[in-house]
Amino acid sequence: MGGMLASLLRIIALTRKELLAVLKDRRARLSLLIPPMIQALIFGYAATYDLNRVPYALLDEDHSAASRELAAGLDGTGVFERVADLSRSSDMERSIDSGQALVVLHIGQNFQRQLLAGRSADVQLIADGRNSNTAGTAMGYISGIIADFNAQWRAAHGERASALQLVERAWFNPNLETRWYMIPGMIGTLTLIQTMMLTVMSVAREREEGTFDQLLVTPFRPHEIMVGKALPSMIVGLIQATGVLVVAQLWFRIPFAGSYWVLYAGLLLFLLAAVGMGLLLSAIAATMQQAMLYSMLFIMPFSLLSGFTTPLSAMPGALQDFTLINPLRFAIDITRRVYLEGAGLRLLLPDLWPLAIIAALTLTAASWVFRYRPQ
Amino acid sequence: MSAAAAKLARVRALIRKETRQMVRDPSSIAMGVVLPLILILLFGFGLSLDVRDVPIAVVSQDSSADAQGLTQAFELSPYFHPLLLRSLAPAQQLLLRGSVDGILNIPEDFARRLAQGDAQVQLLVKGSDANRARIIESYVEGAVGHWSAQLSLEGHAGGVAAAFGPVNVQTRLWFNEADESRYFLVPGLLVLVMTLIGGLLTAMVMAREWERGTLESLFVTPVRSDEILIGKTLPYFLLALAGFVLCVLSAKFLFHVPLRGSLWALSGVSMLYTLVALGIGLLISSAVKNQLVASQLVALTTFMPALMLSGFLFDLRSMPAAVRLITRVLPARYYVAVLQNVFLAGDVWAVLLPNALVLAVMAVVLALASRAVTRKRLL
């Protein structure tokens, strides 16, 4: 019992020393606490697949009331901004190539006559596919506007409405705002980079400066050193995650559907796994530079192949298996589902136990390497 | 020996020393060659915004031939992986658990109301991932519309004027007819790789010299500050170029991304961007002189912005004015614009020249600033 108390006291002392070492430098302090919130703010505005400004060019060869009405439908959305009225189809290439217009709407000559005759009239939509996702979204918006135009035309000209209607509804995010999905995902992503780097570098620096050997000859046991190195990073990680959470709720006003207890339980497991990986890498690395490289080698794939920006389900099977070692993948799923869907611990179990396994494996491996690594 | 020849000899000696150091530390080679290769492979295969095989629950509460026909349309579609159910409650459980992305509900009175001309089917999508949800909605609209159009061709009463509205849209996607998201994601990856090699590696090397004080001992030698900068950066510049070549080769031959522009325009602008990335690394490391802080700062100021704010994934035009202003000072933004053009559109000079010019100006400014910072510390 006395042994455990002494061990606890040693861990607290080491944690305190580590926290002081990290936070005593004002620049380091700022570089750990301020960036996640600023990033959440800037990226929160940037990270959306929704479009709110689509420059388009109109090539209207019909010059009729109907073609003007269709174009007015686009102008009236507030999203589409007409940047050019083209007169020849050869002009289309120039406005797309130069990036002046994202889409060109081409209304052919007999548009109104066809419509009045009760026949279908075609319009052409040409989009700049250099970013095919953006182009696809813009074309989807226009298809919706044209569907509205069709319904109105039918109603005004006494035609029958469609016999089969599709009623659409979205759960958890009724207006389908991608921002609602991206920002909760940042709670884990923005935290991972600095937490993992901090862990990796703190051990590598002691090793490079030779103070790690000094630490080893103190009464500290290897696992105590590890806990002392892990706790400060986790504390910093929790503070960073809270910062992002505050921005999401107070600035972007994204409604929080779940429980904070569940969220923080998930975050703690995630940070434990991330710090475990960091400790393992730092145990292997000989210099700070190597430690840095190794951690980037993991952080980059982790943050990109986590489902943060592109969905996991679009990856080939082998890569989806690879993401099973990625703590961020589980953290992002947890934060999003707690945040938007109000998921409880039972629904999140498939995310929680892999994190626990990653944490257990990496921490065990790290403490083994710490003890037996040939210096 | 003339002054110029002496200068050349000093620079050459420095480069030789730096190259040896680089070759002997396998971690820098790993960064220059192995890292880009791993990244381009992982991301090239892993990043995709294409939506295929959507798991969807089709709840058919009507056993009529019409309802079966609509269900079949989903079974035959390459876009869906339907799961057939009879009631709504288990489907909702599946949606909550994340096993399906949407529920198509065909109500009991479907066939009867279809004959009367006012049938309804409901689509419930999981909206959390809004981008994906919207794509799924449009797929379902397409599948349902196509099915009812077939009905009308077959002379079914309910199908009249269902799919072919008065106005039909024919869409064409220029530069990427097949709508492969890989075509714009793989060129975009070049930005991330070049940023990482150029910026991070230089920052680490210089910060280490500052931290250990070896740079100050270099200052007392006859070597001048601009020579130190050239000697330090040239080997890493070449390393970054090696990474660039690997990336371009795999984009072209592994991922079959078309390279419609000229190779020399691509290489030229890429060299400019590498210089800019090196410059940022140099500047940050000289400013903070600490490996930990330098590495964190470089990761924060280059990698994340290159991912989020460069136009690589997210459309710049839809960002608020203040954020657009921030993207204007980011070199990655200009490089992405060039890459997407050179790969998919060709040498569009109206886009290439202004962007290359901005990168060139940034490179010169950063070079001058790095020299100023290095020289100042001499005093």
Give residue B375's pLDDT: 67
Q: Give me the amino acid identity at B379.
A: L
- Kindly report, residue by residue over B127-161, the tens digit of the pLDDT: 888 888 888 988 898 888 888 877 766 665 544 44
Q: Are B320 and A45 within 8 A, CB to CB?
A: yes
DSSP string for residues in A267-283? HHHHHHHHHHHHHHHHH
Nearest to A43 by CA among A190, A245, A197: A190
Query: Length of chain A in residues, anyone?
Result: 375
CA-CA distance, B132 to B138, in Å (whole number)? Answer: 10
Mean pLDDT, residues A227-248 taken together: 92
User: Which neighbouring-strand residues pair with B81?
Assistant: B55
The dihedral through the CA atoms of A227, A228, A231, A236 has a sign that is: negative
Number of A:B CB contacts under 8 A? 356
A100 touches chain B (CB under 8 A): no
Among B47, B166, B183, the residue with its CB nearest the CB of A154 is B166
- Kindly report, residue by residue over B251-285, the tens digit of the pLDDT: 999 999 999 999 999 999 999 999 999 999 888 88
Question: Taking CA atoms, what residue in A is nearest to B148?
Answer: A164
Q: Are B172 and A122 within 8 A, CB to CB?
A: no
Label residue B376 by pLDDT band (50, 70, 90).
low
Q: Are B133 and A173 within 8 A, CB to CB?
A: yes
CA-CA distance, B266 to B258, in Å (whole number)? Answer: 13
Q: Are A347 and B323 within 8 A, CB to CB?
A: no
Best B39, B105, B167, B333 member to test A by mutation, with max A CBs in 10 Å, is B167
Cβ-Cβ contacts under 8 Å, A193 against chain B: 299-300, 303-304
Structural element, H or E, at residue A368: helix A345-372
Label residue B379 by pLDDT band (50, 70, 90).
very low
Contact B277, A14 (CB under 8 A): no
Cβ-Cβ contacts under 8 Å, A132 against chain B: 173, 176, 179-181, 183-184
Q: What are phi and psi of A86, to 5 degrees?
A: -90, 155
Mean pLDDT, residues B319-339 taken together: 92
Give residue B37's pLDDT: 83
Best A92, A132, A207 member to test B by mutation, with max B CBs in 10 Å, is A132
Mean pLDDT, residues A32-38 taken together: 84
Label residue B206 by pLDDT band (50, 70, 90).
confident
Cβ-Cβ contacts under 8 Å, B137 against chain A: 168
Q: Which residue has the higher pLDDT, A161 or A157?
A: A157
Contact B282, B370 (CB under 8 A): yes
- In terms of phi and psi (left: phi > 0; alpha: psi -120 to 50; beta: otherwise), the region of A161 is beta
Question: Taking CA atoms, what residue in B is nearest to A92?
Answer: B174
The three-state (H, E, C) secondary structure of A67-120, written as one string:
HHHHHHHHHCCCCEEEEEEECCCCHHHHHHHCCCCCEEEEECCCHHHHHHCCCC
- Kindly report, residue by residue over B78-134, the tens digit of the pLDDT: 889 999 999 999 999 898 888 899 999 999 988 888 888 788 899 999 888 888 888
Mean pLDDT, residues A263-286 taken together: 92
Contact A242, A191 (CB under 8 A): no
Label residue A172 by pLDDT band (50, 70, 90).
confident
Sheet containing strand A121-128, strands side by side: A80-86, A54-60, A103-107, A121-128, B167-174
For the question of an ipTM over 0.85, the answer is no
Contact A150, A293 (CB under 8 A): no
Q: What angle do CA A58, A62, A63 make, to 5 degrees?
A: 75
A210 touches chain B (CB under 8 A): no
Say if residue A374's pLDDT is above 70. Answer: no
Compute the mean pLDDT over every residue in chain B, rounded to the nearest whole number. Answer: 84
Q: How far is A4 from chain B (nearest CA, A)?
A: 34
Give residue B18's pLDDT: 80
Question: Taking CA atoms, what residue in A is nearest to B121?
Answer: A166
Label residue B208 by pLDDT band (50, 70, 90).
confident
- Kindly report, residue by residue over A352-361, the tens digit of the pLDDT: 999 999 999 9
Give residue B160's pLDDT: 43
Say if residue B352's pLDDT is above 70. Answer: yes
Query: Length of chain B in residues, anyone?
Result: 379
Among A50, A165, A173, the residue with its CB nearest the CB of B128 is A173
| Chain centroid to CA A306 | 8
Q: Give me the amino acid identity at B59.
A: V
Give residue A248's pLDDT: 94
Q: How far is B10 from chain A (nearest CA, A)?
A: 26
Q: Are B46 and A304 within 8 A, CB to CB?
A: yes
Label residue A185 by pLDDT band (50, 70, 90).
very high
Torsion of CA B21, B22, B25, B28, to 10 degrees: 150
Say if residue A51's pLDDT is above 50. Answer: yes
Contact A20, A229 (CB under 8 A): no
Contact A306, A329 (CB under 8 A): yes
- Cα radius of gyration (chain B): 29
A124 touches chain B (CB under 8 A): yes
Q: Are A165 and B166 within 8 A, CB to CB?
A: no
Give residue B377's pLDDT: 56
Say if residue A156's pLDDT is above 50. Answer: yes
Q: Are B179 and A146 within 8 A, CB to CB?
A: no
- Kindly report, residue by residue over A109-146, the tens digit of the pLDDT: 989 998 888 888 889 999 998 888 889 889 888 988 98
Give residue A268's pLDDT: 96
Best B43, B289, B295, B334 member to test A by mutation, with max A CBs in 10 Å, is B295
Say if residue B207's pLDDT is above 50. Answer: yes
Q: Are A120 and B158 within 8 A, CB to CB?
A: no
Nearest to B135 by CA among A102, A315, A168, A146: A168
Q: How far is A231 from chain B (nearest CA, A)?
A: 18
Q: How far is A93 from chain B (nearest CA, A)?
A: 10
Best B175, B288, B312 member to test A by mutation, with max A CBs in 10 Å, is B175
Q: Give me the amino acid identity at B331.
A: P
Compute the mean pLDDT over every residue in chain A, rounded to the nearest whole number. Answer: 88
Cβ-Cβ contacts under 8 Å, B169 against chain A: 122-125, 139, 142-143, 146
Say if residue B63's pLDDT is above 70. Answer: yes
Contact B191, B306 (CB under 8 A): yes
The three-class DSSP label of residue A259 is coil
Q: Give me the amino acid identity at A150.
A: N
Give residue A1's pLDDT: 56
- Cα radius of gyration (chain A): 28
Mean pLDDT, residues A183-190 taken together: 92
Q: What are phi and psi of A155, to 5 degrees?
A: -65, -40
Q: Give me the amino acid identity at B189.
A: L
- Kindly report, residue by residue over B9-25, the tens digit of the pLDDT: 888 888 888 888 777 87
What is the share, in percent, of chain A residues with pLDDT greater than 90?
40
Q: Are B128 and A127 within 8 A, CB to CB?
A: no
Sheet containing strand A164-171, strands side by side: A164-171, B119-126, B102-106, B54-60, B80-85
Q: How far is A72 from chain B (nearest CA, A)?
A: 15
The dihedral through the CA atoms of B85, B88, B93, B95 has a sign that is: positive
Give residue B162's pLDDT: 41
What is each CA distance from B315 to A102, A104, A131, A137, B309, in whole angstroms? 11, 17, 8, 11, 9
Give residue A367's pLDDT: 84
Among A125, A154, A162, the residue with its CB nearest the CB of B169 is A125
Give residue B197's pLDDT: 79
Q: Are A164 and B159 within 8 A, CB to CB?
A: yes
Among A115, A130, A305, the residue with its CB nearest the CB of B341 is A130
Q: How far is B356 from chain A (nearest CA, A)?
A: 15
Give residue B159's pLDDT: 43
Say if residue B241's pLDDT is above 60. Answer: yes
Say if residue B77's pLDDT is above 50. Answer: yes
Q: Which residue has the higher pLDDT, A240 or A201?
A: A240
Give residue A97's pLDDT: 86
- Measured N-to-C along each axis, helices A132-156 and B182-195 cross at an angle, to the nearest 10 degrees, of 140
A288 touches chain B (CB under 8 A): yes
Give residue A255's pLDDT: 93
Label residue B163 by pLDDT band (50, 70, 90).
very low
Among A47, A193, A305, the residue with its CB nearest the CB of B46 is A305
Which are the contacts of B81, defined by CB distance < 8 A and separation ≥ 6? B53, B54, B55, B56
Label residue A330 by pLDDT band (50, 70, 90).
very high
What is each CA distance from B25 to B14, B20, B28, B35, in whole angstroms? 17, 9, 6, 15
The three-state (H, E, C) secondary structure of chain B, written as one string:
CCHHHHHHHHHHHHHHHHHHHHHHCHHHHHHHHHHHHHHHHHHHHHCCCCCCCEEEEEEECCCCHHHHHHHHHHHHCCCEEEEEECCHHHHHHHHHHCCCCEEEEECCCHHHHHHHCCEEEEEEEECCCHHHHHHHHHHHHHHHHHHHHHHHHCCCHHHCCCCCCCEEEEEEEECCCCCCCHHHHHHHHHHHHHHHHHHHHHHHHHHHHHHHCHHHHHHCCCCCHHHHHHHHHHHHHHHHHHHHHHHHHHHHHCCCCCCCCCHHHHHHHHHHHHHHHHHHHHHHHHHHCCHHHHHHHHHHHHHHHHHHCCCCCCCHHHCCHHHHHHHHCCHHHHHHHHHHHHHHHCCCHHHHHHHHHHHHHHHHHHHHHHHHHHHHCCC
Mean pLDDT, residues A281-294 taken together: 82
Give residue B295's pLDDT: 79
Say if residue A335's pLDDT is above 50. Answer: yes
